[in-house]
Amino acid sequence: MDLKNLLNKEQYEAVTTVEGPLLILAGAGSGKTRVLTYRIAHMIKDLNIYPSKILAITFTNKAAGEMKDRIRKLVGDEVDSMWVSTFHSSCVRILRREIDKLGYNRNFAIYDSYDQKVLIKQCMKELNMDDSITDKEIINRISRQKDNLISQDRFKKENEGNFRMNKIADVYVMYQKKLKENNALDFDDLIFKTVQLFKEHPDVLEFYQRKFKYIMVDEYQDTNKSQYEFIRLLAQVEKNICVVGDDDQCIYAWRGADVENILNFENDYINSKVIKLEQNYRSKANILKAANDVISNNFHRKQKVLKTANDSGDKIKLYRATTDIDEGRYIASRIKEILNIDKDKHYRDFAVLYRKNVQSRIFEDVFMKSNIPYRIIGGLKFYDRKEIKDILAYLKFINNPLDNVSLRRIINVPKRNIGEATIQKIQSFADSMDESIYNALLDIDKSMNLTQRSINSIKKFVSLINSFIKSRDKISVSELIKEILNTTGYLEELKHSKEPDSISRIENLKELVSAAVEFEVTSEDTSLSAFLEKVTLVSDIDNFDNNADSVVLMTVHSAKGLEFPVVFMVGMENGIFPGIQSLDNPKEMEESRRLCYVGITRAKENVYMTFADTRRVFGKMVSYKQSDFIDEISDELKEYDNFRKSDINNFVNRSLSKNIFSYGKKGILNNIPPKRESLSVDNIPQGNYLKPENIKEGIKVKHKKFGVGTIVSISKKDEDIKLTIVFDNMGIKNLMYGVVPLEAV
């Protein structure tokens, strides 16, 4: 390969440096994926290194798939014998082969966040935990311990003198015990257990150290302690480790990422080489200058400056809105105008980036009224929908009959006269015999004080499951899904349902079958275990379709790794971006500034930053100051957007004709929405609506948009009431009581 003509000077040096530790500091848009793929191709084609000796780690399945496709174009099918995968997928692959050494069966289940929450709640109930400690706090605390390689026993010992932490430690201990009884691991266990395996079984570690003589890690700045240790152990013999990353894009501290891992690389690996990729091929010069202005205010970073041969382009456009509704209308009208002027632009060229998912609602409302197609990245995921999780629970249990969480979900779905009281009796019997629930079902004729009707229903269920288990290895996954849908009566029940979403739920199940067929066509391992791994480890961004012609709504966190011609960064106010917690905490402020840097550098041609005089937050009108990050951009790089009155009036006449408009400061066209009385606790409409005194955990309610759900948590502060509701078809939502009326069901 003629690498010198394909790469710039720094890229060439990074590609041809193969032996020893190497840190590639790759700025945004500097071609890091190109460097990684050509580096691997160079190792295979020019240096004759066996592909099976190379391990390439990424953070998303999407990135792994794209990298593998690009390597294939350079070296052909030889890429199939090397590992290009995420941390979690690599660890699953190792554990499927070795986990019996830790006392698990190799067909272990992987619990997603829903399964994890069910099991945590079960532990809390058995330990008689009070409401002062929430399941969310416990899950986050346990996750952080696993990220930091702190076992349940160590956590318990370290917190014996702390009442609150000791209670959480009790849950952690019981949770791990139940996971093992269910032959299951959660996401954090996948890496935690692999590191444990390496440390407790040196022969296993030595095998993989010999296997992977060359290790590459993408997005190294996002690694946590367990990921760092996994890589350190594998690389400690050969030390042929190449990490690629950008400390300026470390934005996941809230989930354990430690920027120190990349900042201290040279201390961890003596005689390491550092190469900086600062040439940006994505963005216009003014965008990069603005990004450099912002990030230069961080002190804890490696010094580098993005540069480009691209022209200056437009300045950063600022828009001061009257309200958050005005902010949404401005962006909709701006998109329409740009599309009218530039016929080469499409809806997919625009992205609206916000700090938190809750900010999407206004843009959804305005875009719907304006006939602007949009898609949300980070909303309800396909595999989180009730009907999909039901069928996946069947598959998980068929694959692993020790999985009590999946069993409890499906035992009465569709309804087969096995109620909660019956399930609880079976659970108690299983616990007394120290066996799984399914084993207890097999002994259902033993005395459990069950009615004959319940016993008959359970026997039918057991017979059904046994038939699926027998079919598991004889038919494909897609055929097994069809068999479950038809034999259980699940599909038939939906066809006769009068619920308005039944048709869409049937369509979703058809899509699940299609996903299974696609998996069978594209995967080497077409087993049920492999399919469950694929769907369990999938992330939001893995399903991002670059060609879908719709405006993208997403958080800045979700946008990392993507690029768009036009980017709108919204809610640019102190208190939102940066968040309130960042304003008095220098470390968190630096993380927020890195997040802003990531947002700006997603744009290729134009960046718009919007902020509002007032906006509704948790049902109350608030007013925040313009973001400090806007102030950090040099004056010559930014300007207020002087939107033409005729353009916005044409937009209003088409879509929002009842609104009133006036001019605000600096010649900005500000929208003054019609005054609307907000819904408060004191003015809930008459009828079958939920009253404050009737709010209780466990009751059913109906939301006009999300449908029927169950209140699972209540949090009160002053006069505000925050409800956590699990909706049947829309997942978990946190809502402020009084913002939208809830009907009592």
Q: Is 249 part of the annotated catalytic residue set?
A: yes
Return phi, psi of residue 553, to 5°: -110, 125
Q: Is 602 part of the annotated catalytic residue set?
A: yes
Residue of higher predicted confidence among 492 and 705: 492
Tokens of 403: 């999985």
Q: Residue 683's pLDDT band (boundaries 50, 70, 90)? A: very low
Of 112, 188, 189, 218, the active-site residue reads: 218
The yes-or-no verdict on residue 742 having pLDDT over 80 is yes
Tokens of 80: 């199939």
User: b vs e for 375-403, b when ≥16 Cβ sit within 10 Å of the residue's Cβ?
Assistant: bbbbeebebebbbbbbbbbbbbbbbbbbb
Highest averaged pLDDT of the listed ranges 159-163, 385-389, 425-429, 568-572: 568-572
Of 11, 32, 422, 605, the active-site residue reads: 32
Of 602, 604, 615, 638, the active-site residue reads: 602
Question: Quick check: 38 and 6 in contact, CB under 8 A?
Answer: yes
The yes-or-no verdict on residue 465 having pLDDT over 70 is yes
Model pLDDT for residues 162-217, shown as the tens digit of each residue: 999 999 999 999 999 999 999 999 999 999 999 999 999 999 999 999 999 999 99
Gap between the Cα atoms of 638 and 628, Å rounded = 14
Q: Is 620 part of the annotated catalytic residue set?
A: no
The structure's pTM equals 0.76
Residue of higher predicted confidence among 734 and 103: 103
* Amino acid 661: pLDDT: 33
Helices 61-75, 32-45: axis angle to 10 degrees equals 40
Q: What is the mean pLDDT of residues 326-346?
A: 95
Q: Residue 432's pLDDT band (boundaries 50, 70, 90)? A: confident
* Amino acid 10: pLDDT: 96
The type of residue at 2 is: D
Q: Residue 745's pLDDT band (boundaries 50, 70, 90)? A: confident
Q: Is 677 part of the annotated catalytic residue set?
A: no
Q: Is 116 part of the annotated catalytic residue set?
A: no
* Residues in Cβ contact with 225 at an 8 Å cutoff, skipping those fewer than 6 apart: 147, 148, 149, 256, 258
Average pLDDT of the chain is: 87
Strand 743-744 with 700-703, pairing? antiparallel
Question: Quick check: 515 and 535 in contact, CB under 8 A?
Answer: yes
Gap between the Cα atoms of 517 and 645, Å rounded = 53
For residue 83, the SS3 value is strand
For residue 632, the SS3 value is coil
Gap between the Cα atoms of 538 and 544, Å rounded = 11
* Amino acid 677: pLDDT: 34
* Amino acid 675: pLDDT: 32
Gap between the Cα atoms of 520 and 265, Å rounded = 41
Q: With the CA atoms of 13, 19, 21 and 27 taken in that order, what torsion angle do they form, in degrees rounded to the nearest 10? A: 20
Model pLDDT for residues 533-558, shown as the tens digit of each residue: 888 887 656 656 667 889 999 999 99
| 29 in a labelled binding site | yes
* Amino acid 638: pLDDT: 96
Return phi, psi of residue 482, to 5°: -60, -40
* Amino acid 673: pLDDT: 33
DSSP assignment of 305-362 equals --B-SS---PPEEEEEEEEHHHHHHHHHHHHHHHHHH-TT--GGGEEEEESSGGGHHH
Q: Is 260 part of the annotated catalytic residue set?
A: no
- In order of their start, the domains of the chain are 3-97+192-277 (3.40.50.300), 109-182 (1.10.10), 307-379+544-644 (3.40.50.300), 382-537 (1.10.486.10), 692-744 (2.40.10)
Of 170, 188, 219, 628, the active-site residue reads: 219
Q: Could you tell me how many helices (H) and strands (E) the chain has, helices first?
A: 31, 23
* Residues in Cβ contact with 665 at an 8 Å cutoff, skipping those fewer than 6 apart: 320
